Chains A and B, each alone.
Chain A
Amino acid sequence: MKKKTFPLLLVIATLVALIGAGIFAPQTAYAQSGGGNGTLKASGDGLAGIRGNGDITISGNGMLWIRDQAGDAVINVSGNGGNRHEGENGWVRYSGFDGQATVSGSQITVALSGYGINLEATGTGKFIMRGSGSYTVEKDGIIVLDGAWTEEAEVFSIP
């Protein structure tokens, strides 16, 4: 009886240990995982930047930057788009932006520097939020990452 019980208990103990380690793992570990479309929602003041593929809607006041590296982006700027200027390396800048922009594409970068920023993005990619504000990342109806905007440029992933 003892000889049969011991291996079974050993397996159970190992499983308990592994599950326990997973539960107590820090939240940032989720940000490193990948595999599907997540949704990022953020609001605050400072600099919000995101690059990747999917759909991005951003609004606020300040300076908007958009880069379409694949050449397949659909860009729609509404409200007061400010002065549009084509810069270096494929960047398009909207100075004095005070409105909303929707951008869809496969290799897009969108950044808004200013205040009253609201951003929602669905897809995969990486983002930074510098300044003061908050963000959440949701996947399959579950919030997998949330936090505050940071002073330093910390890059997070949308899984």
Chain B
Amino acid sequence: MKKWIVLLLGFTLLLSSCARFRKQNTIPTSEPLAPATVEESTAEETQVEHPDFASMSFVEKNNLYMQLLSEKISTGANTSLAESEYQKSIEASLAGDSTEADRALEEAILNLLNL
């Protein structure tokens, strides 16, 4: 009888470990980190000083966008292209695509800087 109890305890631990291991493997991993630098650049964009996006957090980039947008709107500039890019950024964020969201946000900032 004691032998059976020992065997059952071993079996229980094995089952528990297997089940936990399987669940941990199903956890969705976070999105890969965004590229450190923005490779795309055009001749027009090189005319302005680019922010160091790689060293900025999402909140910092987001705040920069809103600050620039406010400034450009107050001067009467046409910000529709930047706002369209920003909308793409929001849609990508809602889809869980951080890379595309950050790319579009950075593009929106560059659009505003070039106005």
Contacts and interface: CB of A to CB of B under 8 A. Distances in A.
A88 interface: yes
Interface size range on A against B: 35 or more
Given A65-B87, A87-B87, A131-B58, 7 more contacts: A96-B70, A128-B96, A130-B59, A131-B62, A153-B94, A153-B97, A155-B96
Interface in A129-156: 130-132, 150-155
A132 B27 CA distance: 23
Interface string B12-23: 100110011001
Interface of B: 1, 4-5, 8-9, 11-12, 15-16, 19-20, 23-24, 26-28, 30-31, 33-34, 57-59, 62-63, 66, 69-70, 73, 83-84, 87, 90, 92-98, 101
Nearest to B93: A153
Of B24, B69, B73, B87, most buried by chain A (CB within 10 Å of CB) is B87
> Interface SS of chain B: helix, strand, loop or mixed?
helix
A17 interface: yes
B4 A2 contact: yes
A17 B98 contact: no
Interface of A: 2, 5-6, 9-10, 13-14, 16-18, 20-21, 24-26, 28-29, 45-47, 49, 51, 62-63, 65, 87-89, 91, 93, 95-96, 109, 111, 113-115, 126, 128, 130-132, 150-155
